[in-house]
Structure 1
């Protein structure tokens, strides 16, 4: 303690108090020390007899003048930097223990211009009014807390590290107790202080970075982005509740997660959730990747290396693993090709669901998978007219989460009544008019089926059988099949179909029922034209029916392909269709692919939880 030159004497008018140096130009003290001195200049000195250094108040905690008002913190900026080493802080929990920790305060009461020590201890780690910790004298004798100790640092006697600041003493001189503002509480009122206080799992530079990013958030917190809402998203339904006082700002919530919540991952989830509401793209990306990517990459590399039985070439393009297969002539079936090992996909999953708060709002979540690990990139409740732009923007950002060697797959999970939405034709971005389906393999999935435990179980069993079956079975449902009984079709498809091709889109009542039968049968692959024949002609299927022609071409192109290859192969077909210069549209121009392998898309763990009317 004798070498701790960072203790400061604060003078303003007739008021005298204490303070302590925390940077080469900043001193902390109590707001009441510098407020009750009126408009007189503030002077700071670090040793008796030295020339005082002028200072000015640059920040305060909002103290309102009452003895029990919170925020009794003031930050002074010195007229010039000083050479002594600033105070160092202990971790928030270090002030307490059994036996109690001895705390020293260095104050400047009357007739002690050189300062004097008082010995105290924290009564308990319980916050009074969510702001103070009670102090009691270490012994029945010695220096009590009196005027002149306000603003003094409370330090651990054995290390000299700061755990808090004296803010008040008992009015009755016979009661030897007082109040301490713990360091982590002071950091609520001056965010920069949080950089200096040790917090498990986070380095100073990481906390400083988060503080800067939170300050750069450009929006005003609304119901979806308020500090309490983001806090609850970060800790989950079983985490610590919001403190009774609530949170005064986004940083207040972030600092509470850093300093008082044991789960070190909660602060990172808070940052990622805030990113979703940040308009500035660089800030959004920095928040999402905070505190750093190094831990995630190391973990993914370990998981990849530990996989057993994975073919060394499984991560390469599926086209490299397919034999070309010569055709005997233009109209004949292709040569059956041997099935390669199932490719490893890294899906970008887009889930769009009704919000429950009206027909025109949707819950939208975009995630990226790496080695079955899911990272939520964005999760919002949005009006219908904002869904497309939001999804496209987040898909682009999701690529930052994929390993460089990953085989991307864009998968849309859509409500059944919107399964025919033209997501493959969405323009990829504001600066790129090319269809999203030409950029990467793209598939759709059924929301209701993805949420069904029974159908997911049946899908897994079907994929396990497909892995050992050389040629999948394609079931055709043509225009003349619209009168089929959907229940019988469901049962038949469960037993005898691996892929189903439809002659028309699921828009008319009859075709929708047959399409639903395929979904309920847990068929892994379903294909159809988004436009074209709707099966409304009577008297059989005419020779010029576009739906029949579609099924013929589909059967020709799918012959010999395994279902695991289809996303990559359909992507090739779409590229060909989009670049075709023929007068008539290419037969695959509006080709839709429903493809679902639950092994690539495990159920989310730790995703954001929403109220149905969020």
Structure 2
């Protein structure tokens, strides 16, 4: 049995359509099959300059054939990366007003398409489901080229059969250049084995302490040399793009989470002058050795939810006060896919237990204030208020926290409070960030 076309709910939008958009060419790292998929799909799109003699466009609804084929394509597949962005982009392209809030319709991909198909933009040649599937195809081209090929086939057939109008290319996924630094304790006290990688679509080994473990001060100086080397290489090989390192991620044992790497003075300024690492770059810490056992599956599951949903989803963030820290906190945090981010508004004496619970639950993102709550904090203040940023869909509560922006936001807050005059006056500074993407990990072999 095929899927039946859902009934129209009668929702009609009257916002002005967005019929043109700049096409982005960014196929770096895309599998060959993905490139061919997109090229084949484009061959079936009508010319944007079609004259008035063109046949009249069809009504903006999916037909039964499209629904039947989507059934096989979607099945029970979990929401893929970029689902929320695809949902919002469909409204932008079709000229419809998006619903209020920062959440997807309840359910899986089928329910999302049902929701879209029940809405109508001002373009009579653009069912909202078509740009949604187009966006998913672009995102799947690198991670799941087989599924991208199937989506491209559905798009080509649907666009040709129902005379869908021209579609702009979806915006490319944001790509960042990240320097990864891993520390492993050596048998010699206060020394560590070190390895550094550069990631920009793939991992490139930069440097390794082959025979001699280093002190943290020696690690700091070597990191400075590698940053200068990478930045100089970018300047020489790609001066037009002005590419540079965006973030430095420290892969450390649990015991080093209290090291304020973001405040390291780096000899990378003019004539070797020291510059604060966290003022120049985004900085995050990770605990690769803590992502084992059942925790690894929980970690990946939470990250998948984060990738598919809005980064401002009202359930994405959990604010953790002192009184919630207990021996069952990890079990409670892992009970569902959200939260994916914990704001630890806890005292210094409870911080270690809080971070242990975060890691036990597989939570990939966390923020805490080094040293615990500020002495001069006013009632009603906290990390939630400090990290809330305005946005087009912010509702004034925790949904105003944009999880995806946290690495950039913490750097902005460090710059704002760089003079140290308010170090103990509020929750904005000094902050630490755990940011642990399971899809972006260098080799896990031991460095010792």
The TM-score with structure 1 as length reference comes to 0.39
Higher RCO by CA contacts (8 Å cutoff, separation 6 or greater): 2
Offset at residue 414 of structure 1 (A): 1.5
Map of 1:144-155 to 2, 5 A cutoff? none
Are the structure 2 counterparts of residues 550 and 306 from structure 1 closer, same or farther at C-alpha, using a change threshold of 3 Å? Answer: farther
Secondary structure of 2:289 counterpart = helix
**Please, which of 362, 385, 390 is the counterpart of residue 553 of structure 1?**
385
Give the match for residue 282 of structure 2.
441
| Greater fraction helix | 2
Q: Please, which runs of 5 or more residues in structure 2 have no aligned partner?
A: 1-25, 39-99, 105-170, 390-397
| Greater fraction strand | 1
**Please, which of 160, 177, 182 is the counterpart of residue 346 of structure 1?**
177
**Please, which of 200, 208, 214 is the counterpart of residue 378 of structure 1?**
208
Offset at residue 362 of structure 1 (A): 0.8
Q: RMSD value over aligned CA atoms?
A: 4.0
Within the alignment, does 1:499 sit opposite 2:341 as a pair? yes
Give the match for residue 323 of structure 2.
480
- 1:398-440 per-residue CA deviation (whole Å, 9 max, x = no partner) reads 4456665366221011111111211001112163333211101
Within the alignment, does 1:412 sit opposite 2:250 as a pair? yes
Structure with higher Rg: it is 1
- Cα separation, 1, equivalents of 2:442 and 2:357: 24
Secondary structure of 1:420 counterpart = coil
Offset at residue 448 of structure 1 (A): 1.8
2:321–2:345 contact (8 Å) kept in structure 1 = yes
Offset at residue 512 of structure 1 (A): 1.3
Map of 1:590-609 to 2, 5 A cutoff? 590-599=430-439, 601-604=440-443
- Cα separation, 1, equivalents of 2:185 and 2:427: 33
- Cα separation, 1, equivalents of 2:207 and 2:438: 20
Offset at residue 457 of structure 1 (A): 4.2
Give the match for residue 428 of structure 1.
266
- Cα separation, 1, equivalents of 2:245 and 2:275: 20
- Cα separation, 1, equivalents of 2:352 and 2:402: 26
- Cα separation, 1, equivalents of 2:304 and 2:244: 23
Secondary structure of 1:602 counterpart = coil
1:353–1:447 contact (8 Å) kept in structure 2 = no
Q: Please, which runs of 5 or more residues in structure 1 have no aligned partner?
A: 1-299, 312-334, 535-541
Give the match for residue 109 of structure 1.
none
Equivalent pairs counted in the alignment come to 274
- Cα separation, 2, equivalents of 1:579 and 1:305: 47
1:486–1:513 contact (8 Å) kept in structure 2 = no
- Cα separation, 2, equivalents of 1:441 and 1:349: 12
Map of 1:333-372 to 2, 5 A cutoff? 343-355=174-186, 357-372=187-202
- Cα separation, 1, equivalents of 2:204 and 2:379: 39
Map of 1:141-540 to 2, 5 A cutoff? 303=29, 308=34, 343-355=174-186, 357-380=187-210, 381-400=213-232, 404-405=242-243, 408-429=246-267, 431-450=272-291, 452=292, 454-470=294-310, 471-472=312-313, 473-483=316-326, 485-492=328-335, 494-504=336-346, 507-508=348-349, 510-533=350-373
Secondary structure of 1:374 counterpart = strand
Give the match for residue 124 of structure 2.
none
Map of 1:34-113 to 2, 5 A cutoff? none
Are the structure 2 counterparts of residues 521 and 583 from structure 1 closer, same or farther at C-alpha, using a change threshold of 3 Å? Answer: closer
Offset at residue 464 of structure 1 (A): 2.3
**Please, which of 588, 596, 613 is the counterpart of residue 428 of structure 2?**
588
1:477–1:503 contact (8 Å) kept in structure 2 = yes
